[in-house]
Structure 1
């Protein structure tokens, strides 16, 4: 996986490796009462196949900061970003704003674009024609360490 540090995000490109699949037990693991182990059936699962729909336009980036904690994006989480998806209202997007990358929720209304953090300690950003602004990609998944 190749990486490139840019502003507060570090970007990675996916490297799909044939046959690199982890074991998956398809019965599900109970988060309530324990279930009998004999119901487990082993299969193989590739996270790249599950998370990457378009290899040419998909990238990973690490979250840096706390502005999106309300959306479940914590510092050091790994984002899966697809550049081929259409940016629409309410999607979480990675944007290039005035020389830096940021991840925020898109708010589009009456021809205006706003970048909304998911932490009340951070201000909502109104995008104007004075900004150097580009929606770089849409976040499709987040990978967390527990």
Structure 2
């Protein structure tokens, strides 16, 4: 997994944004197509000083909408809670899994039935680096 640090010195770039939603069904003839601008930094990053990026590798999180080569946006300022997708160091290996608790014990759950959950034992070393807040992936 490749880690990409956020460079907070860069100013957000604003791109054209059409306020009217893009219909996936029937188009409304009364839609307002006012053009505005949108900064992806402002939309996707809540805590710039605590945010970093990583590239996903593998298929174990496809059920959560995370596919091989996707870019993950990770926020280190959030306290991980049960149900969050997290990036963590487990026994020296960087992994992305859903953190759940079973009988008050942390379990790292894949989102693909082909990958079993990781039930931690007392000898394993887990360090949660942050909570995955957004995923960026290409459609083509």
What whole-Å deviation, never above 9, does each CA across 1:66-100 have from its counterpart, x for those lacking one? 00011111111111100110111111110100111
- Name the CA shift for 1:19/1:131 in 2 (closer, same or farther; >3 Å): closer
Is 2:121 the partner of 1:134? no
- Which residue in the other structure is 1:91 paired with? 84
Q: Distance in 2 between matches of 1:25 and 1:11?
A: 32
- Which residue in the other structure is 2:2 paired with? 10
Within the candidate set 115, 120, 126, 1:122 is matched to 115
Cα deviation, residue 33, structure 1: 1.4
Cα deviation, residue 39, structure 1: 2.3
- Name the CA shift for 1:43/1:101 in 2 (closer, same or farther; >3 Å): same
What whole-Å deviation, never above 9, does each CA across 1:92-131 have from its counterpart, x for those lacking one? 1101001111000111133311000011111110112211
Is 2:31 the partner of 1:30? no
- Which residue in the other structure is 1:3 paired with? none
Where does the alignment leave 5 or more consecutive residues of structure 1 unmatched?
1-8
8 Å CA contact 2:20, 2:34 repeated in 1: yes
Figure out how many residues of one structure are paired with residues of the other and give that number.
138
Q: Distance in 2 between matches of 1:37 and 1:72?
A: 33
- Which residue in the other structure is 1:69 paired with? 62
Q: Distance in 2 between matches of 1:107 and 1:99?
A: 20
What whole-Å deviation, never above 9, does each CA across 1:41-90 have from its counterpart, x for those lacking one? 11111111111111111011111000001111111111110011011111
Cα deviation, residue 11, structure 1: 1.1
The normalised TM-score by structure 2 is 0.92
Where does the alignment leave 5 or more consecutive residues of structure 2 unmatched?
none
